[in-house]
Amino acid sequence: MDKRTDNSELEALLAAAADAIVVADAHGRILRCNRAAYRLFRYEEPELVGQAVKILMPEREASRHDAYMAHHIATGEERIIGKGRELEGRRKDGTLFPLHLSIGRSQSAGRLHFVAILHDLSQRRAAQAALERSQRLGAIGEMTGGIAHDFNNILTLIIGNLELVSHRDVTPDVRSLIHDALEAAELGADLTGRLLAFARQSRLAPERLETSEIVERAATLFRRTLKRGHQLHMTLDRDTAAIHVDTAQFQSALLNLLRNAEDALEDEGVILVTTENVEIDAAYLAQEIDVAPGRYVRVSLSDSGTGMDAEARRRAFEPFFTTKPPGKGTGLGLATAYGFVRQSGGHITLYSEPGQGTTVSIYLPQADAAAAAETAPSPGVAPPLPGRGEIVLVVEDDSAVRRMTGVRLTALGYTVLEVENAADALDLVRDGGDIDLVFSDMMMPGQMTGLDLARALRAERPDIPVLLTTGYAGEMTDAEIVDGYPLIRKPYRQEDLAGAITRTLAGPPV
């Protein structure tokens, strides 16, 4: 076998590898990369060839790389050679992401080469976080259910004995005390009932319900207690499918979520309720755990209130956890809603950030989804990807959301650049970056919002279309265009994202 055959086999191997492969010399200069490496680190071919390999590392690792290399070459000590480890990589735009790295070495004609194989861990980390959250809530649910059952037994004895005593000939003062004690015991029974709901051990009586009708009914009840300065807007899809759930429990969950939303508002604010049909697919399952794929009804409640920090979001569904002042809440509203939805075969998500508001979305299986699945045609050839390598600049301050958006856009066939704020995005464009579309979050820290970025681009680069996104209530309009820019609301499905980008790229520049 001659050298040309060896090279062709090597090229075929590099091209076929799903993971990134980077070959460097003894001085840390990159000699070659496969296409997966360019996609992973967001570089164009052949930008990496001849560069120092440490440009793919965070600053703390890059600063130590040369010393590690020199030590290995001088001593032969194999500290990382042939051993896999997890660390962070740095993309062209400076964003960091988790990866698994394994390194091998070879020597040919007196020249030392190092081969690095790198695997993106972003989706695995997202799945691990979802699994940990599910396991934590599951463990709390088991403990809570056991405690609630024990307290129910105790309360049964207390209520029974109080009722027996009340039937005897007692003085009015004693009868009043018995009445108060019975009311307190009934409150305790209601509390244990809500704990059992969180533990998914409620007694449910599911029936077929028209989603929009039951949501409107709950909203009508809630409007009677709506405080001055607070507004409730409804955007209900009349084609929303029916669901099969317990009427009382569902209505109670909606009212609890509406009250939580109002409690988060200041003197003035807005709550938005929306309903729509959605389908949970593989792209969604990458972010969540214990969710069956299929067709669901999504009921979302958004508020323009104070929002939650990371710790509050992590514990939001735990029983008795509350961000309200003492005496203002039991911390059971979200917990019981969570338990009811999961016991009904659904899913619930929360999206929030301090000062920006909160969106809680309930996913319940469509009543006719199972029957429709039986008669659905067999899947055919997968449709072609909408992207053709167009470069999309993602502007998002939340690192987890930014990474996941990059994964989703890459899966759609686009080339992705990522930055965490509007100022960095504008600098990248001004530096002459070749960008086909900017996909920016509306609300971000710093002096520039996503809308400010869009307006600046309209003045400086009107040829670059901009698509905006938001997970917050904001002005609570149901418009899909803000100041002339198309808008897609979080959380969105993969097909919603694909359609919005296709339309934005096809439309005239703003």
Spatial distance between the Cα atoms of 427 and 404, rounded to a whole number of angstroms: 23
Structure tokens at 473: 């209530």
- Is the four-CA dihedral 320, 325, 327, 333 of positive or negative sign? negative
The pLDDT score that the predictor gives to residue 376 is 43
The pLDDT score that the predictor gives to residue 195 is 55
β-pair type (242-246, 85-90): unpaired
Please name each of the domains of the chain with its CATH number.
3-120 (3.30.450.20), 125-198 (1.10.287), 207-375 (3.30.565.10), 391-506 (3.40.50.2300)
The pLDDT score that the predictor gives to residue 349 is 84
Spatial distance between the Cα atoms of 138 and 136, rounded to a whole number of angstroms: 5
- Decide: helix, strand or coil at residue 201: coil
Burial class (CB in 10 A: 0-12, 13-18, 19+), 422: buried
Buried b vs exposed e over 188-198: b needs ≥16 C-beta within 10 Å?
A: bbebbebbbbb
The pLDDT score that the predictor gives to residue 30 is 92
Torsional class of 355: left (φ above 0), alpha (ψ -120 to 50), beta (otherwise): left
**Please, are residues 254 and 234 in contact by the beta-carbon 8 Å criterion?**
no
How many other CB atoms are found less than 10 A from the CB of residue 334? 23
**Please, are residues 61 and 87 in contact by the beta-carbon 8 Å criterion?**
yes
Spatial distance between the Cα atoms of 423 and 440, rounded to a whole number of angstroms: 12
Q: What is the DSSP code string of 236-297?
A: E-TTPPEEEEEHHHHHHHHHHHHHHHHHT--SSEEEEEEEEEEEE-HHHHTT-SS---EEEE
Question: pLDDT tens string for the chain (510 positions)?
Answer: 444 445 676 677 777 777 889 999 988 899 889 988 998 998 988 889 999 998 999 888 888 877 777 777 777 776 667 677 888 899 998 888 888 888 888 877 778 888 889 888 877 766 666 555 555 555 555 555 555 555 665 666 676 667 667 767 778 888 788 777 777 776 666 556 555 555 444 456 778 999 988 899 888 888 878 888 899 999 988 889 999 888 877 887 888 889 889 988 988 899 999 999 988 775 555 455 456 788 999 999 999 988 888 888 877 777 666 666 655 555 666 777 887 888 888 888 888 888 888 999 989 999 875 444 444 444 444 456 688 878 899 998 877 677 767 777 887 888 888 888 999 899 888 877 688 999 998 877 778 889 999 999 999 999 999 999 876 544 444 456 787 889 887 656 667 788 899 999 987 644
Enter the pTM of the model: 0.49
- The number of angstroms, rounded, from the C-alpha of 90 to the middle of its chain's C-alpha atoms is 22
